[in-house]
Amino acid sequence: MLRTFIAVRIPSTSRLRQILTQLNQMGSSLKPVSADHLHLTLKFLGDTPEPQIAEIGEIVSQAAADAAAFELRLVGLGAFPNVHRPDVIWAGIETSDTLITLASILESKLETLGFRRESREFHPHLTLARVKAKPPPSLFQLLDEHGTTDVGTVHISSVELFQSELQRGGPKYTVLASANFA
């Protein structure tokens, strides 16, 4: 079994790099995402039998064929479950019909392979860090300062099926299939 997910890579903007640097300086209570690993998950598959990888790759290709490359605007910082008790720090995504349609197509097509449909509505966000312990006051200042900040616009031209291997130094991602948008 492989631990897999489908995502679009998010190139790091200068504002995003500045924010990640600030998060990295907040100590061991936070585990920021590496700028090289930024991605927006469309569908987390979890444990996936290796024989299904080719079929999933084909579904990813079919979904990409129906979409055109697009621009994605990152706006504001926030936290789950909320900014007063953060577990995950994220950058917001300005509404993208292409992204929502793509996630919906993947949900439908992957359900035929036995992957459960998500019970929650798809809300795109870019995870920047996970909170491991009581965060420093500087995190709350950062969230307050950048609640509506324009974090940048990125060009999205492909979607990928990733394998995620959890390791001590952080996850290792391997691309198993990739498809460019039309």
84 is catalytic: no
**What digits encode the pLDDT tens for the residues 155-166?**
999 999 999 998
pTM score: 0.93
**What digits encode the pLDDT tens for the residues 131-159?**
999 999 999 999 999 999 999 999 999 99
Pick the catalytic residue: 37, 125, 146, 155?
A: 125
Amino acid 123: pLDDT: 85
CATH classification at residue 53 = 3.90.1140.10
Structural domain of residue 34, as residue ranges?
Answer: 2-180
DSSP of the chain: -EEEEEEEE-PPPHHHHHHHHHHHTT-TTEEEPPGGG-EEEEEEEEEE-GGGHHHHHHHHHHHHHT---EEEEEEEEEEEEETTEEEEEEEEE---HHHHHHHHHHHHHHHTTTPPPPSSPP--EEEEEEE-SPPPHHHHHHHHHTSS-EEEEEEE-EEEEEEEE--TTS-EEEEEEEEE--
Pick the catalytic residue: 39, 123, 146, 155?
A: 39
125 is catalytic: yes
Amino acid 122: pLDDT: 87
Domain count, the chain: 1
